[in-house]
């Protein structure tokens, strides 16, 4: 027999090996094989009797690591689909999708637990033997019943010191114990909490999706606070009732502890979380609980889409428009798109929820590829926020705040409410400027200015993370008159402390929340009313509920209005709507102020007067006119190197290869090679070549015909290059 093995190597192919007599394996099992000068662990993706290679030259499998497949056929098919669709090596797709420990050959079983039992001498002991040690007596009495796990003993207040003392007397001993999957949650399942009665729109959504045992993709377009999470909870309830599992993807789990606690409060079932802070062991255990069906609900970020499920019932993608679902390096998959493919293979419904759906998903809904459900009203008795555009042309700003906004803040704060200010620039000032000659401190490795961070007393480049001390003198003219140009969150915080000295402000950005647990502390402080003014970057825009915030100020939107990225307007509209949605979520009406030098800009007008729904539909028709995604499809080759000519030459040659197929693929447009928007970053020159076509199949066809040749290009060795299908970032 011959096995085809996917190996974690950067080659866009799999490898055939002979299966020696007497060895048996099946698709989905791990094997150890000789590769180049060493050994590698790979996954069997086919077992067959013939090979296109010369049998005499095939090497043999060394060792079979699994008796049974470690993954389901559905997942393996998904990996193969992803490998073909993203033109990414199958071995690397699998290596990124399965837990690290499995990749390293660890058995696919839960972490062994330890337990304690009495020795023979311990069984024979009597109460009198412990007359001088009540603690040991208690432990002995517990263990006399039956062996107990270390966790159970800890719960019973038995310390390891006590147990070690018993062990020293040879009365008790530690034994390994194989943990069990707790699969009995369906029998014990019950609701733990009173739940609100659904309003009509919610009830329609729940009825449309629940009890569907087939694939279907549902876009749940619901304004912020309209009760989407409540819809998810009701859908999951139906799924759990049938003993099936739910997979929920969220943008950033650390940022939304409230969502997770709502799930925990509602259901008495095992809920597992997948996020970047898990250890390798925790990640493997979670994965195994999913596979065994003992994880009733799995909530996680992007990579959670690869968690196996024994009895999948539903997949939910919350904030489906969020850019964090797209992986931006190595295997550049989009978790939302993979989730749709997975739901199709598992034959289950998938829900994409958002107040601000991506134009891609909205287009799929409007063209009836997806079912479209909307929640137009805010749940409970919350009202829609009122929006204002504040013209700041010729207005003297105080750290980015207009006098009108300051006055409004006073009004809201006096009434005992909270105010949130949104500024998407961390640090003290986005640049350091010489007041005498205009010199600006520029990063030597990037086409970018240093951000001045006063709290770290450093200049930091936000693109390559290089640090340097704050200069005392201008490097051009020697003047000591250096000033910050522009406003960052640190500076805003400083100004607020002066202008609003009677109120307490909290700043939430990547710098202030670097310490573990600090974000939770700040969020608690906001909930309890310790802080009255909230300053944040887009971190603060994601999914939080701040019931006492009645005023939101968005300080600077102008940079997004004139960006070269065709998605900038969509992103701004999403951000605005999400941030605005933080205001007035409870019974208090909210107010949102948007400061701009271009208050008449059609995009801002549309957003503020008509809302995201309207904006998104006109943005879609603009994209249609311009033949941009989702009305066309793109793939992007990126290349970078220390010398500018190398990436350009490589991409020229790639283009040359494609040109050989122009007859066949007339409708494909090749744009470039051209410098990336930021041409130099971290010391490397960056170029790109964009492929655009009216349908996916054309791009797929061209790439399948050409990738082998592209990979053989000699100029490719001198650059770092990558291929990004459906790129979102240019």
Which residues does the annotation place in the binding site for Zn(2+)? Answer: 434, 437, 443, 446, 461, 464, 474, 477
Q: Which of 437, 497, 627, 674 binds Zn ion (CB under 5 A)?
A: 437
How many Cβ atoms are within 10 Å of 242's Cβ, its own excluded? 14
Interface region with ligand ADP, contact rule CB under 6 A, candidates 79-87, 191-199, 365-373, 461-469: 191-199
560 binds ligand ADP (CB under 6 A): no
Nearer to ligand ADP, 616 or 676 (CB): 616
479 binds, among ligand ADP, Zn ion, none (CB under 5 to 8 A by kind): Zn ion
243 binds, among ligand ADP, Zn ion, none (CB under 5 to 8 A by kind): none
> Which of 328, 284, 277 minimizes the C-alpha distance to 306?
284
* Measured distance CA(644)–CA(520) in Å, rounded: 45
| Count of residues in contact with ligand ADP, rule CB under 6 A | 15
| CB of 381 vs ligand ADP, minimal distance in Å | 8
Which residue is associated with the tokens 């005023």? 551
443 binds Zn ion (CB under 5 A): yes
Residues sharing a CB contact under 8 Å with residue 550, sequence separation 6 or more, in sequence order: 412, 415, 417, 418, 419, 583, 584, 588, 589, 590, 591
> Which of 312, 303, 310 minimizes the C-alpha distance to 344?
312
| CB of 220 vs ligand ADP, minimal distance in Å | 9
> Which of 35, 36, 2 minimizes the C-alpha distance to 18?
2
* Measured distance CA(606)–CA(613) in Å, rounded: 10
| CB of 65 vs ligand ADP, minimal distance in Å | 43
542 binds, among ligand ADP, Zn ion, none (CB under 5 to 8 A by kind): none
How many Cβ atoms are within 10 Å of 593's Cβ, its own excluded? 22
443 binds, among ligand ADP, Zn ion, none (CB under 5 to 8 A by kind): Zn ion
Interface region with Zn ion, contact rule CB under 5 A, candidates 23-31, 440-448, 525-533, 669-677: 440-448
222 binds ligand ADP (CB under 6 A): yes
Tokens of 402: 């207009």
| CB of 233 vs ligand ADP, minimal distance in Å | 8
| CB of 370 vs ligand ADP, minimal distance in Å | 18
Q: Which of 85, 439, 631, 730 binds Zn ion (CB under 5 A)?
A: 439
Interface region with ligand ADP, contact rule CB under 6 A, candidates 28-36, 219-227, 282-290, 678-686: 219-227
* Measured distance CA(249)–CA(223) in Å, rounded: 19
* Measured distance CA(295)–CA(283) in Å, rounded: 13
Interface region with Zn ion, contact rule CB under 5 A, candidates 206-214, 291-299, 331-339, 438-446: 438-446
| Helix extents (H) in 293-384 | 335-346, 359-366
Subset of 223-282 contacting ligand ADP (CB under 6 A) = 224-230
Tokens of 354: 């958002």
Q: Which of 198, 292, 458, 470 binds ligand ADP (CB under 6 A)?
A: 198
Q: Identify whether the C-beta of residue 61 lies closer than 8 Å to the C-beta of residue 18.
A: yes
Q: Identify whether the C-beta of residue 291 lies closer than 8 Å to the C-beta of residue 324.
A: no
552 binds ligand ADP (CB under 6 A): no
Subset of 663-722 contacting Zn ion (CB under 5 A) = none
Kindly report the three-state secondary structure assignment for every residue of 518-567. HHHHHHHHHHCCCCCEEEECHHHHCCCCCCCEEEEEECCCHHHHCCCCCC
228 binds, among ligand ADP, Zn ion, none (CB under 5 to 8 A by kind): ligand ADP
> Which of 164, 67, 65 minimizes the C-alpha distance to 114?
164
| CB of 608 vs ligand ADP, minimal distance in Å | 21
530 binds Zn ion (CB under 5 A): no
461 binds Zn ion (CB under 5 A): yes
376 binds ligand ADP (CB under 6 A): no
Q: Which of 112, 196, 478, 589 binds ligand ADP (CB under 6 A)?
A: 196
| CB of 274 vs ligand ADP, minimal distance in Å | 20
Q: Identify whether the C-beta of residue 356 lies closer than 8 Å to the C-beta of residue 577.
A: yes
463 binds, among ligand ADP, Zn ion, none (CB under 5 to 8 A by kind): Zn ion
* Measured distance CA(610)–CA(628) in Å, rounded: 24
446 binds, among ligand ADP, Zn ion, none (CB under 5 to 8 A by kind): Zn ion
> Which of 397, 577, 598, 557 minimizes the C-alpha distance to 492?
397
| CB of 571 vs ligand ADP, minimal distance in Å | 19
> Which of 674, 646, 669 minimizes the C-alpha distance to 658?
669
196 binds, among ligand ADP, Zn ion, none (CB under 5 to 8 A by kind): ligand ADP
Q: Which of 385, 446, 523, 710 binds Zn ion (CB under 5 A)?
A: 446
Q: Identify whether the C-beta of residue 496 lies closer than 8 Å to the C-beta of residue 533.
A: yes
Nearer to Zn ion, 20 or 478 (CB): 478
Nearer to ligand ADP, 231 or 569 (CB): 231
| Count of residues in contact with Zn ion, rule CB under 5 A | 14
- Specify the DSSP class assigned to residue 327: -
Q: Which of 83, 202, 256, 632 binds ligand ADP (CB under 6 A)?
A: 202
Subset of 665-724 contacting ligand ADP (CB under 6 A) = none
Tokens of 299: 């909530």
Which residue is associated with the tokens 């943005």? 619
Nearer to ligand ADP, 45 or 233 (CB): 233
Tokens of 379: 């749940």
477 binds, among Zn ion, ligand ADP, none (CB under 5 to 8 A by kind): Zn ion
| CB of 195 vs ligand ADP, minimal distance in Å | 8
3-class DSSP state of 660: coil
Q: What is the DSSP string of 214-237?
A: S-EEEEEEE-TTSSHHHHHHHHHH
| Buried b or exposed e, range 489-502, using 16+ CB within 10 angstroms | bbbbbebbeeebee
| CB of 432 vs Zn ion, minimal distance in Å | 11
* Measured distance CA(529)–CA(417) in Å, rounded: 9
Which residues of the shown chain bind Zn ion in the complex (CB under 5 A)?
Answer: 434, 436-437, 439, 443, 445-446, 461, 463-464, 474, 476-477, 479
Which residues of the shown chain bind ligand ADP in the complex (CB under 6 A)?
Answer: 196-199, 202, 222, 224-230, 379-380
């Amino acid at each position: 027999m011959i096995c085809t093995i996917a190996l974690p190597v950067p080659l866009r192919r799999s490898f055939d090996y002979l299966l020696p007599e007497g060895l048996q394996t099946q698709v989905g099992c791990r094997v150890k094989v000789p590769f180049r000068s060493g050994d590698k662990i790979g996954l069997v993706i086919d077992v067959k009797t013939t090979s296109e290679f010369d049998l005499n030259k095939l090497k043999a499998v060394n060792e079979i690591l699994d008796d049974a497949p470690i993954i389901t056929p559905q997942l393996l098919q998904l990996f193969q689909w992803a490998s073909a669709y993203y033109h990414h090596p199958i071995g690397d797709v699998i290596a990124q999708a399965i837990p690290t420990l499995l990749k390293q050959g660890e058995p696919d079983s839960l972490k062994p637990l330890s337990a304690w039992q009495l020795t023979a001498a311990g069984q024979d002991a009597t109460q009198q033997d412990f007359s001088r040690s009540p603690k040991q007596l208690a432990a002995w009495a517990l263990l006399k019943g039956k062996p107990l796990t270390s966790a159970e003993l800890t719960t019973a207040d038995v310390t390891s010191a006590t147990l070690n003392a018993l062990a020293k007397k040879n009365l008790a001993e530690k034994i390994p114990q194989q943990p069990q999957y707790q699969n009995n949650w369906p029998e014990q399942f019950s609701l733990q909490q009173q739940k609100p009665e659904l309003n009509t729109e919610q009830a329609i959504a729940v009825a449309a999706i629940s009890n569907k045992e087939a694939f279907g993709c549902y876009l749940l377009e619901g304004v912020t606070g309209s009760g989407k999470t409540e819809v998810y909870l009701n859908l999951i309830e139906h799924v759990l009732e049938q003993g099936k599992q739910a997979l929920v993807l969220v943008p950033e789990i650390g940022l939304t502890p409230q969502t997770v606690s709502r799930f925990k409060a509602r259901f008495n079932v095992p809920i597992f979380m997948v996020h970047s802070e898990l250890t390798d062991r925790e990640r493997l255990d979670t994965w195994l609980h999913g596979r065994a069906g003992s994880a009733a609900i799995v909530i996680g970020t992007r990579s959670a889409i690869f968690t196996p499920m024994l009895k999948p019932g539903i997949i939910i993608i919350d904030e489906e428009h969020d850019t964090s679902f797209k992986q931006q390096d190595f295997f550049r998959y989009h978790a939302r798109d993979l989730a749709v493919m997975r739901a199709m293979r598992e034959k289950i419904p998938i829900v994409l929820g958002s107040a601000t759906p991506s134009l891609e998903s909205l287009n799929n809904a409007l063209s009836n590829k997806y079912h479209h459900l909307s929640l137009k009203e805010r749940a409970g008795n919350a009202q829609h926020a009122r929006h204002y555009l504040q013209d700041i042309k010729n207005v003297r700003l105080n750290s980015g705040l207009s006098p009108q906004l300051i006055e409004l803040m006073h009004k809201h704060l006096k009434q005992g409410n909270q105010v949130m200010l949104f500024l998407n620039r961390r640090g003290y000032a986005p640049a350091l400027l010489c007041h005498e000659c205009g010199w600006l401190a520029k990063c030597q490795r990037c086409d970018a200015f240093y951000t001045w961070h006063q709290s770290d007393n450093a200049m930091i480049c936000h693109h390559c993370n290089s640090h340097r001390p704050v200069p005392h003198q201008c490097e051009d003219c020697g003047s000591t008159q250096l000033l910050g140009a522009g406003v960052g969150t640190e500076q805003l915080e400083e100004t607020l402390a002066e202008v609003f000295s009677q109120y307490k402000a909290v700043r939430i950005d990547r710098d202030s929340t670097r310490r573990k647990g600090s974000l939770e502390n700040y969020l608690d402080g906001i909930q309890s009313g310790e802080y009255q003014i909230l300053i944040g970057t887009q971190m603060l825009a994601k999914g939080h509920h701040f019931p006492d915030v009645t005023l939101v100020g968005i300080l600077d939107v102008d940079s997004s209005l004139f960006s070269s990225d065709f998605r900038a307007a969509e992103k701004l509209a999403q951000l605005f709507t999400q941030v605005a949605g933080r205001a007035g979520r409870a019974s208090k009406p909210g107010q949102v102020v948007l400061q701009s030098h271009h208050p008449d800009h059609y995009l801002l007008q549309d957003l503020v007067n008509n809302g995201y729904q309207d904006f998104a539909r006109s943005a879609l028709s603009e994209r249609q006119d311009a033949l941009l995604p989702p009305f066309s499809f793109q793939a992007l080759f990126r290349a970078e190197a220390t010398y500018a000519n190398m990436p350009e030459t490589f991409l020229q040659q790639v283009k040359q290869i494609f040109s050989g197929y122009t007859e066949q693929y007339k409708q494909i447009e090749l744009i470039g090679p051209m410098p990336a928007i930021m041409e130099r970053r971290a010391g490397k020159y960056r170029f790109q070549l964009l492929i655009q076509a009216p349908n996916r199949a054309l791009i797929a066809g061209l790439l399948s015909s050409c990738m082998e040749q592209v990979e053989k290009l000699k100029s490719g060795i001198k650059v770092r290059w990558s291929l990004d299908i459906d790129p979102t970032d240019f």
